[in-house]
Amino acid sequence: VITVSRGLLESSIRNCLKGRILHITDNGKSVDLKVLSGEFFEAVITKESFQNMKLEPGAEVYLNIKASSIEVF
Protein backbone atom coordinates (compact mmCIF):
# COMPACT_ATOMS: atom_id res chain seq x y z
CA VAL A 1 0.00 0.00 0.00
CA ILE A 2 1.21 3.47 -0.88
CA THR A 3 -0.87 6.35 0.39
CA VAL A 4 -0.40 10.01 -0.47
CA SER A 5 -0.89 12.80 2.05
CA ARG A 6 -0.20 16.52 2.34
CA GLY A 7 1.38 16.09 5.79
CA LEU A 8 2.84 13.41 8.01
CA LEU A 9 0.30 10.86 9.21
CA GLU A 10 0.10 9.24 12.59
CA SER A 11 -0.10 5.59 11.61
CA SER A 12 1.61 2.21 11.76
CA ILE A 13 3.35 2.86 8.44
CA ARG A 14 7.05 3.46 9.12
CA ASN A 15 8.24 4.38 5.63
CA CYS A 16 7.24 8.00 5.02
CA LEU A 17 8.99 9.89 2.23
CA LYS A 18 8.64 13.58 1.48
CA GLY A 19 8.55 14.41 -2.22
CA ARG A 20 7.27 16.65 -4.99
CA ILE A 21 4.74 15.81 -7.68
CA LEU A 22 6.40 15.94 -11.10
CA HIS A 23 3.61 14.70 -13.34
CA ILE A 24 -0.12 14.03 -13.10
CA THR A 25 -2.14 11.80 -15.43
CA ASP A 26 -5.94 11.95 -15.21
CA ASN A 27 -7.44 8.51 -15.95
CA GLY A 28 -11.07 9.38 -15.40
CA LYS A 29 -11.91 7.94 -11.97
CA SER A 30 -8.27 7.72 -10.87
CA VAL A 31 -5.18 9.88 -11.11
CA ASP A 32 -1.57 8.69 -11.56
CA LEU A 33 1.05 10.72 -9.72
CA LYS A 34 4.76 10.65 -10.49
CA VAL A 35 6.61 11.82 -7.39
CA LEU A 36 10.31 12.55 -6.90
CA SER A 37 11.64 11.70 -3.44
CA GLY A 38 15.28 10.88 -4.05
CA GLU A 39 13.97 8.26 -6.50
CA PHE A 40 10.89 8.29 -8.71
CA PHE A 41 7.69 6.79 -7.33
CA GLU A 42 4.31 6.29 -8.95
CA ALA A 43 1.07 6.26 -6.99
CA VAL A 44 -2.54 5.92 -8.10
CA ILE A 45 -5.24 7.74 -6.13
CA THR A 46 -8.92 8.36 -6.70
CA LYS A 47 -9.91 11.50 -8.54
CA GLU A 48 -11.98 12.51 -5.50
CA SER A 49 -8.88 12.34 -3.26
CA PHE A 50 -6.86 14.24 -5.84
CA GLN A 51 -9.44 17.03 -5.92
CA ASN A 52 -9.90 17.11 -2.12
CA MET A 53 -6.15 17.50 -1.57
CA LYS A 54 -5.92 20.15 -4.33
CA LEU A 55 -2.81 18.51 -5.78
CA GLU A 56 -0.87 19.98 -8.67
CA PRO A 57 2.59 19.60 -10.23
CA GLY A 58 5.21 20.87 -7.82
CA ALA A 59 3.07 20.19 -4.73
CA GLU A 60 4.84 18.73 -1.71
CA VAL A 61 3.40 15.39 -0.60
CA TYR A 62 4.27 12.49 1.67
CA LEU A 63 4.33 8.94 0.38
CA ASN A 64 3.39 6.52 3.15
CA ILE A 65 4.63 3.11 2.09
CA LYS A 66 4.18 -0.41 3.38
CA ALA A 67 7.44 -2.16 2.48
CA SER A 68 5.58 -5.11 0.99
CA SER A 69 4.13 -2.86 -1.75
CA ILE A 70 7.49 -1.88 -3.29
CA GLU A 71 8.44 -3.20 -6.73
CA VAL A 72 11.93 -2.45 -8.05
CA PHE A 73 12.49 -2.22 -11.81
pLDDT of residue 6: 92
pLDDT per residue as tens digits for the range 6-50? 988 777 777 889 999 999 999 999 999 999 999 999 999 999 999
pLDDT of residue 58: 97
pLDDT of residue 13: 76
Cβ neighbours for 27, distance < 8 A, ≥ 6 positions apart: 44
65/25 Cα distance (integer angstroms):
21
2/14 Cα distance (integer angstroms):
12
pLDDT of residue 69: 65
Contact 32, 44 (CB under 8 A): yes
Sign of CA dihedral 52, 43, 40, 62: positive
Q: Specify the higher pLDDT residue, 69 or 67.
A: 67
pLDDT of residue 21: 98
